[in-house]
Amino acid sequence: MALIRPCADLRNNYNEISRICHETKQPIYITKNGTNDLVVLCDETYENIIKKSQIDEEEKINKLISKHFEKYYSTFEEFQKDFFKKIQKALDDVENGNYQTIEEFCSEMEEKYDFK
């Protein structure tokens, strides 16, 4: 069940709010003029939420990478061979003067996409 307290309790009953947060590991909703204003969590609960969020984001990214990888490569060796081929092409392009500076690239993109 959600715990709801008025904002004055932060000032007048901080220790109690802190104790409740630590004991229940639940958020306390703080209201101001009768409407939700803040949510108070103990540090442990907050850190767990952040950690879970980061893990979820990493899993989502890994799934996207895996899906993309599997679309183009059947093995890691195939990927590695293609990767080194592209690196060699890039090195050859630089050696032959077939490149543009980052300033030129940014200027071209600004013009192309009307960023100014």
Evaluate whether residue 88 is within a structural domain.
yes
In sequence order, the 6+-apart residues with CB closer than 8 A to the CB of 18 are 42
CATH of the domain at 36: 3.40.1620.10
Evaluate whether residue 62 is within a structural domain.
no
36 membership: H or E segment, kind and range: strand 35-40
| 45-68 tens-digit pLDDT | 999 999 999 999 999 999 999 988
Q: Is the pLDDT of residue 116 over 70?
A: no
Q: Is the pLDDT of residue 87 over 80?
A: yes
Evaluate whether residue 65 is within a structural domain.
no
Q: How far apart are CA 30 and CA 32, in angstroms?
A: 7
Evaluate whether residue 68 is within a structural domain.
no
Residues 40, 27 contacting (CB under 8 angstroms): yes
β-pair partners for 40: 28
Count structural domains, the chain. Answer: 2
Evaluate whether residue 69 is within a structural domain.
no
Expressed as residue numbers, the domain containing 105 is 74-116
Residues 10, 31 contacting (CB under 8 angstroms): no
% of the chain beyond a pLDDT of 90:
86
